[in-house]
Amino acid sequence: MIISLHTPKAAGSSFKKLLEKEFSHSLISDYKDKPFNKNVERRIEDVKFKRRKLKYFYKLYYKCIGIECIHGHFLPYGYDIYLNNPDTKFITWLRDPLQRLASNYFYWFRAYNKNKSGDLHKKVVEENWSFEKFAFSEEMKNFYNQFLYKFPIENFDFIGLTEFFEDDLKYFSEKYLNKKITHVPITNININKTREYYDDPILIKELKEFHSVDYSIYNFAIQKRNNRFK
């Protein structure tokens, strides 16, 4: 089984297209959790409950209906029961944390829907947060690390980098799907982006310090990728 964490604005939507084509009806989209629509306490409470359900029911359920892949926005700790299963691979995609953060910010303003957007999304748009307020908010601080609650980045078998999306996708397909791909799907991008989201060196330095844990995670992913070529 492949368990694929879709971290928002890090090529997860494009990657999902490949998984849908490959696994079809044996894929489950797990987007119900919406962890960042909840406060931290509720988020942790829910993932612990999910983990208990999986331990006593879902593990058997997934096996019975032939599920081969799970992909979505979720805390991977909810699936850590599969860590000791040699037939299960945990995968995800990451992006430079500040680029991901900025992409998230502008996407929320483009995609805002008063009836469907989550509480934090509504708050950011309706209060017209500046990028700086969004980027320095406690809600967004070390975004990756919040997703990785009790699930170290070292647990992932494959970490693709958005900056090398085409090459990493081809590598993933050959190693984990035993096939070569010629067409790389690209979806859910900002077609109007003509420059970097920010260019103030002082702001960049301050943000990198504020999100230093995420940069440690991202740098681990870079090193893991580099090790593939050794």
Average pLDDT over residues 192-198: 52
* CATH for 2-227 (3.40.50, 3.30.1460, 3.30.420, 1.20.58): 3.40.50
Q: What are the backbone dihedrals phi and psi of residue 109, each rounded to the nearest 5 degrees, phi first?
A: -70, -35
Q: For the segment 46-90, what is each residue's pLDDT rounded down to a tens digit? A: 999 999 988 777 777 777 788 899 999 999 999 999 998 889 999
Asked whether 90 and 190 are in contact (CB, 8 A), the reply is: no
pLDDT at 192: 44
Average pLDDT over residues 209-213: 98
What residues does each domain of the chain span? Answer: 2-227
Q: Which segments of the chain are extended strands (E)?
A: 2-5, 27-29, 69-72, 89-94, 158-161
Task: Calculate the average pLDDT of the chain.
Answer: 89
Burial class (CB in 10 A: 0-12, 13-18, 19+), 116: exposed
Q: For the segment 26-46, what is each residue's pLDDT rounded down to a tens digit? A: 999 998 888 888 888 999 999
Query: Residue 17 pLDDT > 50, yes or no?
Result: yes
Determine the Cα–Cα distance for residues 95 and 141; give it in Å rounded to an integer: 15
Determine the Cα–Cα distance for residues 140 and 114; give it in Å rounded to an integer: 21
pTM: 0.90
Asked whether 144 and 75 are in contact (CB, 8 A), the reply is: no
pLDDT at 160: 95
pLDDT band at 188 (very low <50, low <70, confident <90, very high): low
Query: Residue 117 pLDDT > 70, yes or no?
Result: yes
